[in-house]
Amino acid sequence: MTLRLLAFTARGFALAQTLAGALGGEAARCGAPLGLADWTTDGFAQADALVFVGAAGIAVRAIAPHVCHKAADPAVVVVDEAGRFAVPILSGHLGGANDLARRIAAQCGAVPVITTATDVRGLFAVDEWARRQNCRVENPEAIVRVSSKVLAGETAGIYSPWPITGRPPEHTAPAAEHSCDAMLTLRRESGDALRLIPIIAVLGVGCRRDTPAALLERAFAALLEKSGLNSLAFYKACSIDLKREEPGLLAFCQNRGLPLETFSAQALRDVEGRFSPSAFVQSVTGVDNVCERAAVLGSGGALIVKKQAGDGVTMAAALAPFSPDWRWRDE
């Protein structure tokens, strides 16, 4: 988590520095040349969590122009300069602001002021569970359906093709795919159920020199169409180190928000498994297959989509190991 803290007074800055040291963040003090508006704008673009050490009103006015959507906004917490209260004011569950407020409270003795209904009543919060299970929420508007059932004392059914370890929380139960209220899935689905996408897919890429980003985007779209995989499941792209500065590949990865990891030919050759060999690729790179081997090596898991080739681009996909559990809060 990229954490940034902003204070407005000397006392507040001292607290911000203490919290930054304990939580692994970056503390700053508002004032020339650092302005509140610029700090907030940059924080919304670059950080996962923002902490304002000062008045809640200042924080609310600062973030108001930037608030977009619960699935995209960073966590925002306000702490008074005396360290008495830690108040999450944005992205309590999905962004982790509630959890951050509790961590701040543990460091400085503050009272975490949590106001979300499920937390107040100690009930299962499906969006908090999704965050802890490393899932993206495809349709956040469906969160309310699950939470409303839990708050009403009804049972929310959750479907998962993976075994979920532990004991289901109160007012939740495993359910069939066709009748669930929420599901874990890697596929592009439809329907009313809340769709939670595990972030476990790695894209393996091979391409000719000077391949434009548009062709890579077209190849990725074709892979998604053929496999049925959800693009939200991907968390990085992998290739051979010959491609680490390939402009089109770098642009594609930036556009998709995928970090690029590259490996040596030797590291790729050492990957065990059955792959789709190419004599041409072997002659150019020193390894018989780039995309499949890179995907498997980068994920530490298993190949799920074999090599797809076209327009000088090869792509494959692999899945990292995934073992969900029912944990949704710190006990």
* CA dist., res. 39 & res. 51, Å (int): 11
Checking if the pLDDT of 1 tops 90, the result is no
Residue 262's pLDDT is what? 98
- CATH of region 3-115, choose from 3.40.50.11220, 3.40.640.10, 3.40.50.300, 3.40.920.10: 3.40.50.11220
272 phi-psi bin (left φ>0, alpha ψ -120 to 50, beta other):
beta
Dump the DSSP string for 155-167: PEEEE-SSPPBS-
pLDDT per residue over 11-43, tens digit each?
999 999 999 999 999 999 999 889 999 999 999
Largest CA-CA distance found in the chain, in angstroms, rounded: 67
Give me the percent of the chain exceeding a pLDDT of 70.
Answer: 100
Region 57-68: mean pLDDT is 97
Report residue 219 as tokens.
């190849």
- Rounded to whole angstroms, the Cα distance separating 87 from 36 reads 19
User: CATH top-level class for 201-319?
Assistant: alpha beta
**3-state class (DSSP) for residue 271:** coil
Label residue 167 by pLDDT band (50, 70, 90).
very high
Token digits of residue 237: 């792209």
DSSP 113: -
Mean pLDDT, rounded, for 307-320: 97
**Position with higher pLDDT, 53 vs 330:** 53
* 3-115 shares its CATH topology with 126-198: no
The pLDDT confidence band at residue 331, using thresholds 50, 70 and 90, is low
The CATH topology of domain 126-198 is 3.40.1390
Annotated domain spans of the chain: 3-115, 126-198, 201-319
Nearest residue to 49 (alpha-carbon basis) of 35, 59, 57: 59
What mean pLDDT comes out for the span 278-286?
90
Residues in Cβ contact with 35 at an 8 Å cutoff, skipping those fewer than 6 apart: none
Per-residue pLDDT tens digits for 97-156 = 999 999 999 999 999 999 999 999 999 999 999 999 999 999 999 999 999 999 999 999
pLDDT tens sequence across 189-208: 888 999 999 999 999 999 99
Kind of pairing between the strands at 194-198 and 234-240:
unpaired
User: What are 81-102's pLDDT values in tens digits?
Assistant: 999 999 999 999 989 999 999 9
Tell me the pLDDT tens digit for each residue of 217-257.
Answer: 999 999 999 999 999 999 999 999 999 999 999 999 999 99
**Main-chain dihedrals φ then ψ at residue 68, nearest 5 degrees:** -125, -60
For 253-281, what is the mean pLDDT? Answer: 95
CA contacts within 13 A on the Cβ side of 314: 23
